Amino acid sequence: MKLTCATRSNGDEFVITLVGDADLTTVDQLRAALTGAVAGRPARIVVDVGGLAFIDSVGIGALVVASHAARQHGLEFVLTRPRGYVLRALTVTGVLDALTRAGKAGAA
């Protein structure tokens, strides 16, 4: 399945809504959307994964890298609405709390 990355800016918040699969075949598209969000330097980046049916380790890695990049720039980064397979994958890999807990660099 393909990946759709819909983006919108709402003042200091940038929202990326993902639909489809985040995997090896779509990771470049995912990285581009995440990199663009971080480059825009909004106060808060929200990645809505409620529409993702599948995510593999490459997709998870892209989210983790973007989260670190955002926080290095003092931006808040949070993943919302993980469910089904995506929720399980994020839980098993141990990144669910870090990605779904809003925070900036230096935040507990």
Contact call for residues 56 and 25 (beta carbons, < 8 A)? no
Sequence-distant (6+) residues with CB within 8 A of 22 are: 3, 30, 49, 52, 54, 55, 56, 58, 59, 60, 62, 63
CA dist 21 and 49 (Å) reads 10
Determine contact, residues 76/41, Cβ cutoff 8 Å.
no
Does any domain span residue 90? yes
Per the document, the length of the chain is 108
pLDDT value of residue 9: 92
| Span 63-105, pLDDT tens digits | 999 999 999 999 999 999 999 999 999 999 999 999 988 655 5
pLDDT tens-digit profile of 38-62?
999 999 999 999 999 999 999 999 9
Residue 78 in domain: yes
Q: Which domain holds residue 92?
A: 3-100
Residue 108 lies in a domain: no
106 located within any domain = no
Q: What is the CATH number of the domain that holds 27?
A: 3.30.750.24
Tally the domains of the chain.
1
Q: Does residue 7 form part of some domain? A: yes
